[in-house]
Amino acid sequence: METISGARALMKALEKEGVKEVFGLPGGANLPMYDELYKSNIRHILVRHEQSAAHMADGFGRVSRKPGVCFATSGPGATNIITGLATAQADSSPMVAITGQVPVSMIGRDAFQESDIIGIANPVVKYSFQPRHASEIPTVIKKGFYIAETGRPGAVLIDIPKDVQQNEAPMEFPEEIKIRGYHPWTDPDVTAIEKAITLLLSSSKPVILAGGGVIISSAFAELQSLAEMLMIPVVTTFKGKGAFPETHPLSVGPIGMHGHAEANKIMAEADCVLAIGTRFSDRSVGTFDEFEKHLKIIHLDVDPAEIGKNQTTSVAILGDVKASLRIFVRLLLQKATKKSEHNAWFEHVTEVKEYWRQNLKLHPGELTAARILRKLREVLPHQSIVTTEVGQHQMWASLFYDVIHPGTFFSSTGLGTMGWGFPAAIGAKTARPDLPVVDIAGDGSFNMTENSLATSVLDNLPVIVFLVNNYTLGMVAQWQRTFYDRRMIGVDQKHCPDYVKLAESYGAQGIRVGNLDELGNAIKAGLKSDVATVIDIPIDPEENVLPFVAPGTSLKDMILPS
């Protein structure tokens, strides 16, 4: 056993977990760990605000499916990451945040830059640790990573007092750990899966509702096999967007408040749903009681607390999505069950889909949401990673940007954090420097974390900011137009700032476009650029996101373009 400082042990433990990058910002209480970071082989990516460090770690984690790591100092540094922790936790993203804390002897004395971050973070993390002795650090890191990435992934906070970083102790690095109150694995429930298959086969209008769990467990091939064998149309939640190739004949698209018209129609007609890795969010299903009327629900999820939380289920299947879907496919192969393409339900779904894809009335003009996002899809290579911010542009991305390669679309869907997409895109680029990464942004959201342009440029992590710019907090404006009789307040950004100049001031590339051809060229320029590219795309501030399922109503009551 070697005797080293807590900070040195932290770096060794992170290296043992395979960590190559951390996102962070130093301060008084985490200086000892930064000094050891200086001596280690781990790359430090400096942010301009700790919230962005957390979002970068989150983006990294979603793409690599390994916990992203962020560092922040005590007090305000730590409180600045709370939104990042809550965002990652709400979307089950693996993340480990490591904060400095005042020395143990000062805790509870309202010391300078002291905050009770363990108490503050409690409801927004999967678990948290505050080691009080240096010797605890190797075990705490091992447990932290284990909790963050297993079962339903989530955010873990490790708060290390400054003296615990500094003190030396004999260190033992465990190879394996067990936590007696934590059982992330359950074997697939074969009996329940058999019941589910019987129910699906006996239904005349079945659908699969794929949620974020499919993406988290990377069960794309299994989902596709299952859907194709049973010829069941696939709708997704918004978080599940891209769990299934959206150009596939069985794909009907996301349901929900701003779901595809055809998806909401089909969901409302279905008599049985196989819901996979979804928590039946109100944004996805509308009113809970209305959703489950006339519908048999088969719910597969890794988290037992999600089963029965929002919807009553006919068949509950507890287990990992990928492992359980493999059993579905295996059982179907054994039964040699395969449905023909020529069944009335599939034909009806195809008709409904075709109808809405041709007849949904679009906003007039050249630079409209539908046209610019279809242009992006046309120019962007299929494997490219897309993140979004939160607001109208996000819902337009859901409606008009088809994910072709599964698992390449990420958004803050649970917490709905404006300002998430850009730093998350930088985190994604860190995980996959070989792929183009685009943040589909709105101006309001981009304003919140645009100083991450410095990180993108200086740390050589070039991404494209596809800025759908109406100089308005557009989604709020849409609600004010729809529900508040056009009493517009607090939404007009008054053409400030100039995004081309803003980008250039950071050493990034800024391009303003006036038509679709220029847009295509700007995307191509961004794909070739060594620095971040902000494409400023002016759109009509009056353009609404439609269809729209108003809050407190059901999917069948959606508002369509008039």
Q: Quick one: which segment of 190-198, 299-307, 361-369, 541-549 binds other proteins (CB under 8 A)? A: 299-307
Angle at 53 between CA 380 and CA 428, to 5 degrees: 25
Site string for other proteins, 123-142 (x = CB under 8 A): x--xx---------------
Nearer to other proteins, 122 or 359 (CB): 122
Structure tokens that stand for 35 in this block: 């000094």
The set of catalytic residues is 50, 112-113, 162, 475
Q: Quick one: which segment of 17-25, 175-183, 359-367, 471-479 binds other proteins (CB under 8 A)? A: 175-183
Site for other proteins in 101-120 (CB under 8 A): 118-119
The radius of gyration of the chain's CA atoms, rounded to the nearest angstrom, is: 24
438 near other proteins, judged by CB under 8 A: no
Q: Quick one: which segment of 77-85, 164-172, 173-181, 551-559 binds other proteins (CB under 8 A)? A: 173-181
Site for other proteins in 144-163 (CB under 8 A): 147
Torsion (CA) 465, 466, 472, 474 in degrees, nearest 10: -120
Nearer to other proteins, 79 or 472 (CB): 79
Q: DSSP characters for 292-340?
A: HTT-EEEEEES-GGGTTTSS--SEEEES-HHHHHHHHHHHHHHHT----
Nearer to other proteins, 97 or 546 (CB): 97
State the Cα–Cα distance between residues 549 and 258, nearest whole angstrom.
6
364 near other proteins, judged by CB under 8 A: no
Q: Are 125 and 186 in contact (CB under 8 A)?
A: no
Tell me how far, at minimum, the Cβ of 276 lies from other proteins, in Å.
Answer: 19
122 near other proteins, judged by CB under 8 A: yes
> Is the torsion defined by CA of 521, 527, 530, 532 positive or negative?
positive
Tell me how far, at minimum, the Cβ of 147 lies from other proteins, in Å.
Answer: 7
Tell me how far, at minimum, the Cβ of 467 lies from other proteins, in Å.
Answer: 36
Nearer to other proteins, 180 or 342 (CB): 180
Residue of 105, 172, 174, 182 interacting with other proteins (CB under 8 A): 182
Q: Quick one: which segment of 304-312, 359-367, 387-395, 411-419 binds other proteins (CB under 8 A)? A: 304-312
Neighbour-count burial of 45, counting CB atoms closer than 10 A to its CB (0-12 exposed, 13-18 middle, 19+ buried)? buried
Cα distances from 304 to residues 289, 301, 497, in angstroms, run: 21, 7, 47
Residue of 28, 249, 304, 538 interacting with other proteins (CB under 8 A): 304
Angle at 183 between CA 177 and CA 184, to 5 degrees: 95
For the beta sheet containing 464-469, the strands, ordered from the edge strand earlier in sequence to the opposite edge, are 409-410, 385-388, 437-442, 464-469, 533-538, 509-512
State the Cα–Cα distance between residues 296 and 472, nearest whole angstrom.
42
| SS3 label, residue 435 | coil
Nearer to other proteins, 119 or 490 (CB): 119
Q: Quick one: which segment of 165-173, 192-200, 302-310, 379-387 binds other proteins (CB under 8 A)? A: 302-310
Contacts of 330 (CB under 8 A, 6+ apart): none
Nearest to 263 by CA among 280, 276, 246: 246
293 near other proteins, judged by CB under 8 A: no
E strand intervals along 447-508: 464-469
State the Cα–Cα distance between residues 281 and 304, nearest whole angstrom.
16
Nearer to other proteins, 309 or 335 (CB): 309
216 near other proteins, judged by CB under 8 A: no
Tell me phi and psi for residue 352, to 5 degrees. Answer: -60, -45
Q: Are 25 and 46 in contact (CB under 8 A)?
A: yes
Nearer to other proteins, 147 or 491 (CB): 147
Angle at 211 between CA 205 and CA 214, to 5 degrees: 110
305 near other proteins, judged by CB under 8 A: yes
| 545 DSSP assignment | P
Residue of 76, 308, 381, 497 interacting with other proteins (CB under 8 A): 308
178 near other proteins, judged by CB under 8 A: no
Tell me how far, at minimum, the Cβ of 81 lies from other proteins, in Å.
Answer: 19
Tell me how far, at minimum, the Cβ of 318 lies from other proteins, in Å.
Answer: 11
Site for other proteins in 441-480 (CB under 8 A): none
The count of chain residues that interact with other proteins, using the rule CB under 8 A, is 16
Site for other proteins in 535-554 (CB under 8 A): none
Binding site for other proteins (CB under 8 A): 118-119, 122-123, 126-127, 147, 179-182, 303-305, 308-309
